[in-house]
Structure 1
Amino acid sequence: MEQILNKRVLFPIVILLIGAAAMMGFASMKKPPEEKPATNKTPFVDVQLNQVKQHQVYVRSQGEVEAKYHTVLVAQVDGVVTELADAFVKGGFVKQGQLLAQIDPSDYQAALTEAEANLASAEAQLEQEKAQAQVAKAEWQQISDLEPSELALRKPQLAQAVARVKAAKAHIQRAKRDLERTRIVAPYDAIVSARHVSPGSYANKGGQIGEIYAVSVAEVRLPVAEAQLAFLPQAGVGAKVKLETEIEGKKKVFDARIVGSEGIKNKLNRMHYLVAQIEDPYALQTAGKKHGRIEFGTYVVAKIAGELLDRASVVEYHLIKDGQIAVVDGNNQLEFRHVDVYRVEDGLAVIQQGLAQDDKVIVSALAYPVSGMKLTTNLDDTPSNLSEEADEQTVLAKQADK
């Protein structure tokens, strides 16, 4: 009985001891937690080193390429068109003095011949009157010692003969001029924009023959706001211009120069208009011209060269808030620097004062920026923006190398 009682007491104790031993065994088999490397909690920012250098200011504008000279050719005499030049078609190029159209000259040639005949007759009558005047003077001297009258010396008849000669010469000049006007010639090197006659057409005096545009020089009217003129020396006159456009799917740049201002502010848009000129726009004078030709009617974007700043910094304008820009100072601390923005160009701020060479300008966002806070940057030797996973991979890679 006593043994049974001892078994009942010892059995639970043994079970408890075995359970405790099992728990201790399992606990000893569990791996201790791995220690992760400490990470730098200092805020990380991207920075760019500021560059101070010369900066060319540009004023942007836009316009359409036009011919400097545009001429409507008209007939100055009546007649049938008997001849047209092969190049006298829309889009054709013609040279100065080249015959474009010929009006039937036969009537005007006949008129010239008649005028020449009239001149010969008038000159003969003049010679005859001169001879008769000399005879009349000699006869008067033989008859009387009195002073003869002008009528007696045939001076009125002589003056009339002289007038007839002058009139005949004038008729010849008119006849020659009319004959010349039967030839419609190009007043300058040009491209034909329109032709209004055909062979056999009757041209009336004052009627249109065609239209041409001079190709030696092209012009572009460039509107510039009043405030932008302040950045152009001499109000832009004489400034160099880059004209950008797209031709056959490719970007092209043409050189031009501001030759003057229209001098009158436009009433509708209150803009000043500068006039830029392009030499030889159709590349007819320069073989193999670098950028090819630029046609009349082409829309261009213009960059007018303004002032050349000796020392300036250029940063993205959105980085400036309330006239200040965030930089990292020599102690790797955040500093808000006041800057003097001279001009904004295409989203970029041109700064003359406030930034020095190699200043670290912050170009990334900070959640809660506070002046003087410690920062790490992409230019530091050990950037602090590595994630914990990246740190762990670095440690494992070093262990593998060993």
Structure 2
Amino acid sequence: MATNKNKSYYHTHTGRMLVLFAVLILGGSACAALIIFGKKEVALTPPLDTRPKVVAQPLTIVNYQTKISLSGVLQPAEKTDVAFELNGKIAWLNDKFIEGGIVKKGDILAKLDPFDYETEVKDKQASLALAQANLSEELAKAAVAKKEWAHNPNSTALALRKPQVESAKARLKAAQASLERANKNLSRTQYYAPFDALIASRTTGLGQVVSKTQALGQLINLNYGEIHVPIAGFDRAFLPALPLENVQVSANDTLRTGTLTRHLGRFSEQTRMAYYVIKIHDPYALYTAQSPLYFGQFVEAKVNGVTLNNVLKVPQAQLRNNAVWLLDANQTLAKHSAPIIRKEQDFVLLPAPLEPHFQLVTQLPEYPQQGMQVNLQAVTVQLADKGAKQ
């Protein structure tokens, strides 16, 4: 009986030990599995980034040549009234001497009846011939008197006919001057265009009797024209020294170049703008193959101003209270407050920051702060598929 009890106790104790060992193995396996799978789950879940998101782009620091946009009306620089210096009757008119006609320098525009002035020339020619004959006669008489008084020490100038010779010479000079005046008056019966001109108006007709200096019409000089352009004070500060050549002038599809020559010395009472002059050579393109510009035509001009060195070129949309936000290498916001040097079109020019490693923030958080840590977002550009519209 004792032997059976011992065997029963042994089997019971051994079975319990096996069960306990199996539980320990299963528990250890479960813990190991939890640890392994727990680590994998933690690795798949990154920590939450609460920094505000921003978008930035590299700074554009340039040496910028300013541009000044101007506009005005092309107008004549010189006008001249057509008028004879003599009285007379209009005997001939040039076919181009009509409003809108164009004549070249030296073209005859009108002629007076020359009869009276031709007659005067002939009269003065006759007077000159008489004066020459009179001088020849006095010279001959003086030669005879000189021989007669050659051995007489008491001879006088009058006896030698010296005063008579001088008088004859004076009358000859007067006759020559009268003939020159008569020839000049004859030439004045024809009116020559003083320059290449556009006929602005004509107020005379064939056969009309006109008096001296009476206006017969008006000419406009076509050698050059002028555009009077107002320039505001904030633009005048960027004008280089005058004269300034290669000013781009345009009207519709016509492109020309001119020269900004001078300041007119006056300001507009209403706008307080200063007026300057752009000079256009040969505006009607008489001697070039360029397209013409016409007086009275509205034109626009582009002037190259001074160059601004080391400036930050920023879209106006990025400007907030005269400042822009920058991003440093540590993704920290920095406020760049600087005076605006100039505004042109849709951008502004500011003094560049001293440190060039910043980026320009183009998309800010709602409440940006100096020194705020942010999360820079990469800008992705989606390319169009092949064959799709660009």
User: TM bucket by the smaller chain?
Assistant: 0.7 to 0.9
1:237–1:261 CA contact under 8 A, matched in 2: no
Match of 2:136? 127
Aligned counterparts, 1:57-206, within 5 A: 57-141=66-150, 145-206=152-213
Counterpart secondary structure, 2:292: coil
C-alpha displacement of 1:49: 4.4
Q: Which has the larger radius of gyration?
A: 2
> What is the SS of the residue equivalent to 2:97?
coil
Structure 1 pair 241–357 and aligned structure 2 pair: CA distance change class (3 A): farther
**Structure 2 unaligned regions, length at least 5:** 1-47, 383-390
Q: 1:183 to 1:240 in 2, by over 3 A?
A: same
Show the counterpart of 2:299: 300
Q: How does 1:2-401 map to 2 (within 5 A)?
A: 49-141=58-150, 145-226=152-233, 228-234=235-241, 236-245=242-251, 247=252, 250=253, 252-262=254-264, 264-266=265-267, 268=269, 271-287=273-289, 289=290, 292-354=291-353, 360-363=359-362, 367-371=366-370, 372=372, 374-375=374-375, 377=377, 379=379
**Residue 68 of structure 2 contacts residue 303 of structure 2 at CA under 8 Å; is this kept in 1?**
yes
Counterpart-to-counterpart distance in 2, 1:90 and 1:368: 70
Supply the distance in 1 between the matched residues of 2:165 and 2:115 (Cα, whole angstroms). 35
TM-score for the superposition, normalised by structure 1: 0.73
Q: Is residue 325–residue 337 contact of structure 1 (8 Å, CA) maintained in 2?
A: yes
Other-structure match for 2:12: none
For residues 169 and 239 of structure 1, the distance between their equivalents in structure 2, rounded to whole angstroms, comes to 51
Give 1:113 shift. 1.1
Contact 1:62 1:301 in 2 (8 A): yes
Deviations 1:55-78 (A, max 9, x none): 211233333222333222211111
Whole-angstrom distance in 2 between the partners of 1:70 and 1:147: 69
**Cα displacement string for residues 113-172 of structure 1 (whole angstroms, at most 9, x for unaligned residues):** 111111011100110111112222323346xx2422222222222222111111111111
Distance across 2 between alignment mates of 1:89 and 1:75: 17
1:341 counterpart SS class: coil
Change in CA separation of 1:355 and 1:184 when aligned onto 2, cut-off 3 Å: farther
How far residue 86 of structure 1 moved from its aligned partner, in angstroms, is: 1.6
Would the alpha carbon gap of residues 323 and 79 (structure 1) be closer, same or farther in structure 2, given more than 3 Å must change? same
Q: How far is 1:355 from its partner?
A: 8.5
**Secondary structure in 1 matching 2:340:** strand
Count of paired positions: 333
Secondary structure (helix, strand or coil) at the match of 2:312 reads strand
- TM-score, normalised relative to structure 2: 0.75
- Within 1, Cα distance between the matches of 2:338 and 2:137? 99
Change in Cα spacing, 1:335 to 1:253, as seen in structure 2 (3 Å) is: farther
Match of 1:128, SS state, is: helix
How far 1:376 moved relative to its partner? Answer: 5.3
Q: 1:356 to 1:221 in 2, by over 3 A?
A: farther
Q: Deviations over 1:307-339 (max 9, x none)?
A: 123443322335323332024444555432234
Sequence identity (%): 29
Kindly state the Cα deviation for residue 232 of structure 1 after the two structures are TM-superposed: 2.3
Shift of the 324–183 alpha-carbon distance from structure 1 to 2, 3 Å rule, reads same
The whole-number CA distance in structure 2 between the counterparts of 1:293 and 1:129 is 67
The alignment yields a C-alpha RMSD, in angstroms, of 3.0
Counterpart of 1:320, as a letter, is: L
Relative distance call for 1:358 and 1:294 in structure 2 (3 A) is farther
Moved more, 305-314 or 106-115: 305-314
Counterpart-to-counterpart distance in 2, 1:266 and 1:67: 21
Distance, in Å, in 2 between the alignment partners of 1:200 and 1:224 is 51
Q: Residues 364-384 of structure 1: CA distance to partner in whole angstroms, max 9, x if unpaired?
A: 5754333415355471589xx
Query: What letter is aligned with 2:248?
Result: K
Shift in Å at residue 178 of structure 1? 0.7
Q: Which residue of 1 aligns with 2:32?
A: none
Partner SS, residue 244 of structure 2: coil
State the secondary structure of the residue aligned to 1:178: helix
CA contact (8 A) 1:50 1:355 kept: no
